[in-house]
Every structure is written in structure tokens, then in C-alpha cells.
Amino acid sequence: MNLLKEFEQYIKQQNLFNAKDKLLLAVSGGVDSVVLCELCSLAGFDFMIAHCNFQLRAAESERDENFVRELGKKYAVEVFVKKFDTEKYAADNKCSIQVAARELRYAWFDEILNDVKNNLVSTTGKQPATAVWLLTAHHANDNIETLLLNFFKGTGISGLHGIIPKQKNICRPLLFAKKEMLLAFAKEKHLAFVEDSSNASNKYARNYFRNELIPGLQKVFPQVEENLLDNIERFVEIEVAYLQFINQQKKGLMENKGNEVHIPVLKLLKAKPLKSIVFEIIKDFGFTAHQTGEVIGLLTSESGKYIPSASHRIIKNRNWLIISPNQTTEAINILVEETSKKIKFQPGTISFDMITADKFSGHIQTANHIAQLDAGEIKFPLLLRKWKAGDYFYPLGMNRKKKLSRFFIDQKLSVTQKENTWVLEMDKKIIWVVGMRIDNRFKVINSTKNILQVTLTVS
């Protein structure tokens, strides 16, 4: 079977795209992307070419750009070219050159795809039947290198499936072909291509795997490439079964409460295999595989301890683990005027109603989300804010003050519940710990004429 037939068969087998779809080919000018262009042309696909000039190899980068422009003329297709200041982007975003190049090129590819889609809509007046796809020239050897890189980096089972043939709007129709097949095809068709001199350097991990590690393994295991490609197929199927099990475990362990996730400690301790289950839970919240052991240690630690990621914290709170978004340290103060009726804030909405003596039923509301206060003791404006260290009030029923920190301990609040507690303040006196307890000094008594009713509605 020749390469063109295998190419067409693989596209159908993987259901990558339809023959009438529009294709954007990411073309560097190297043999892989040049072969991709030739195959798409021979197959009769409607394609365009996009080339990124990262300006990292001086004259060689300009040579590659000019080569790709000529390639577009050869196939009579539209060519998109963009120059990037890759080194500046990497410095500004504190990332490696490789990460910078990847982020820049895929962001630009998305722009082109969106423009093409919008043009199709504007010319037809409706959503066209044809789709627009980005095609990259990743091949079987790239897949092997990705598998080994992920294995040694420790990405877990999700990294062992290698490169996915179709992911969102990206298709990779050459994953079936080894590099030697592409080189042989280029030679057979007399295809010109350019060589990237940086590929010979082992400065980058992928090049080291390509130039040193895999050739070394082949000396011991001549069939190592075929074996690894077979393993990738197995790992894809294993991952399906693995994720079915993991999703079942997560469903039984994770309870969503607002923007938090609560996990019962005793139930999690009984789960097996514990390390894999914990890792699969925490990785979605910015935690790394290396933090898995720390989280397992948290299960038997004292209450209040936590482990942070860039976006979340995992907090031990008595018999629960709580996964919570990191809190902002910005102070939020909301002024409440006498004319204020409803105020929206982080927990929900707080509303203010005046109840006159003739309309008061005599029944005091005891629900935590309602505060009934002696209006004669209230002077506006009020201040709605988050509690802070040192705050105190006189809890309803008590004639002595209590610090909020102590009150929270008595109420057995979790760390996140404390952080999300707001107070209503008048002239530096807390009149209501919102949603919990009013201050005894402002309670309704026999001589009360009018009542200020404050109601919390949680969104």
C-alpha cells in the first residue's frame, strides 16, 4: 500500500475530517510538513498554508519563510505568514522558548481559523456545511518521543496515550507514518524541503530523545519503535477503562458545595488505589503529581492544615477535605445608606425592610438568614464588609463581648467558611454577623417601636 492510500485510509479510520472541508496546514518547510502538503494536494483537499517565523535562527528563519511562500505558489494556495518576537514573549511571560513558540503559534492559528469561518458565514449568509480544521504534520516518531517525554516527566496514564489524532479543531493525519516513510516519499516525489539546523542540537529534551536515547535503545531492542507504537495503542484502551473507574470513584467521593468540593476523609482513606484516585482528583485544581503524597498526608493531619496550588487550596477540616479557590486579599467595603433596599455582594443579596410597630406580629424571627434589629438603635450609614482579625461583638443572649475568631471556633466553622463571613457594622460596632448571629445590643425589646429587618438571600 502506498503512502497516499494509507493517508486517505487513516483519515477515514480516525474520522478526522470530510473531503470537502477547508484545511489550514501548519508548514515549517521541513520534510514532514512538505509531505503533508503534497499528500493533501494529491488527495484533492482544499487547503491553505500557515507559516510561523519565530525569528530564532536569523537568516535560516528568513530562508524557511521564503521557501514556504514559494511552496504556496507551487500548489496555488493562500499562504499566511507571521513573524513573532519569540524571545521577548518568553521573557515577558517567564516561560521557555519552546512554550512561547507553542503558545504563539496556536493562538495565531486560532485567529486564522476563526477568520476563515467568519468569511464562510458572511459569504453564504448562513453556517456552511464545510468545517475548517488545522492540520499538523506530527508523525509516528513524534508520538514515540512524546510518550517517552511524558513517561519520564511523570504525567500519569493520561500522558501515555501519546499524541491524539483529533483534538478540538486540530487533526494530525500523519500519525500512522514513521519518519523513514516520509523521507522515502519525499525522495520518490522529488520534493524539496529545508533542514532546521537546531534539530541536530541536544539542547532541547525532544532532540536528545530523538538523537541519543532512541538510537541507543535500538541497539539493545531493535524493534523498540514498533513496540512503543503498539504500547501507545494499548495505553489508549487502558486509559478508557481507567477513566471509567476513576470517574465512578470521583462521583462517590466529591460533593460540590458552592464553589468548593468536599471529600469525606474516612471514605477516601478506604478508597483503592488511593494514590491514583487522589492524583486524579487534585490535578484538575492545579496540583501536581508530586503533591499527591502531601495530600494523602493531610488525611491524617490535624484540622486547619492546608496545601496550596496556584489556584486552589486543599484544607483539612475535621472529617473533611475541602478544595477551595484561593481567596483574594483585597478588602471590600460596601456602604449601606438609609435609602438602600437591596445590595448584591459576594454571597448573594442582602435586603433591608422597615417594619413599623403596627405591622409587627410580635413574633421574632430566629432564622439565621434574617436579622431583626431595633431600628431606634440603628444610625446610617452602615458598612458591609468581610470580618477581620480583632473583630468582636456581643452575641445575642450575652452581655459580654466575644471575639469573632472564638465565636467561629464555637460554631465549628471551616477555614473557608470563616474567610467568607461578612459583618454588618455601624459606627465600628458589629450589629450582625451576616447569616449567623445579631449583636445583643441591637435586639428587639418590649420598648422597640420600629424594626429594621435585614434578609440574606444566598445566590
For residue 247, being part of any structural domain is answered with no
DSSP secondary structure letters along 6-46: HHHHHHHHTT---TTSEEEEE--SSHHHHHHHHHHHHTT-E
Do 326 and 270 contact (CB within 8 A), yes or no? no
Residues 340 and 297 in one domain: no
Query: Is-contact 274 297, C-beta < 8 A?
Result: no
Among 210, 229, 248, the domain-final residue is: 229
Which one, of 321, 345, 323, 347, lies nearest residue 334 by Cα? 345
Closest CA to 262 of 276, 281, 243: 281
Q: Are residues 341 and 317 in the same domain?
A: no
Q: Is residue 240 part of a domain?
A: no
Looking at the fold, whether 81 and 174 belong to one and the same domain comes out as: yes
Determine phi and psi for 382, rounding to 5 degrees: -105, 165
The verdict on residue 272 lying in a domain is yes
Q: Domain for residue 241, yes or no?
A: no
**Residue 22 φ/ψ, nearest 5 degrees:** -90, 140
Q: What angle do CA 453, 455, 457 make, to 5 degrees?
A: 170
Provide the CATH number for the domain around residue 345. Answer: 3.50.40.10
Nearest to 453 by CA among 334, 346, 366, 390: 366
Are 442 and 318 in the same domain?
Answer: no
171 with 277, same domain: the answer is: no
313 and 354 co-located in one domain: no
- The verdict on 138 and 44 lying in the same domain is yes
Q: Smallest Cα–Cα separation from 454: which of 332, 360, 333, 341?
A: 341
Between CA 438 and CA 370 the distance in angstroms is 9
Per-residue pLDDT of the chain (459 residues; tens, 9 = 90+): 599 999 999 999 999 999 999 999 999 999 999 999 999 999 999 999 999 999 999 999 999 999 999 999 999 999 999 999 999 999 999 999 999 999 999 999 999 999 999 888 776 666 676 889 999 999 999 999 999 999 988 777 888 899 999 999 999 999 999 999 999 999 999 999 999 888 877 878 899 999 999 999 999 999 999 999 999 999 999 999 999 999 999 999 999 998 899 999 999 999 999 999 999 999 999 998 889 999 999 999 999 899 999 899 999 999 999 999 987 656 688 999 999 999 999 889 999 999 987 787 778 888 999 999 999 999 999 999 999 999 999 999 999 999 999 999 999 998 889 988 999 999 999 999 999 999 999 999 989 999 999 999 997
User: Based on the domain organization, do 320 and 342 belong to the same domain?
Assistant: no
CA distance 423 to 158: 46
Cα dist. 153→43, 203, 209, 289, 378 in Å?
38, 17, 13, 10, 62
Alpha-carbon gap, residue 276 to 9, rounded angstroms = 37
Total number of domains in the chain: 3
Q: What is the CATH number of the domain that holds 262?
A: 3.30.465
Distance, CA of 272 to CA of 238 (rounded, Å)? 18
Residues 355 and 320 grouped into a single domain: no
Whether residues 142 and 195 share a domain: the answer is yes
- Residue 2, classified by CB atoms within 10 Å of its CB into exposed (0-12), middle (13-18) or buried (19+), is exposed
Domain carrying residue 399: 333-458
- Of the CA atoms within 13 Å of residue 4, those in its CB half-sphere come to 12
What's the CATH code of the domain at 89? 3.40.50.620
| 423 occurs within a structural domain | yes
Is the domain of 120 the same as that of 194?
Answer: yes
**Is the domain of 48 the same as that of 134?**
yes
Q: Is the peptide bond before 381 cis (omega within 30 degrees of 0)?
A: yes
Whether 90 maps to a domain, the answer reads yes
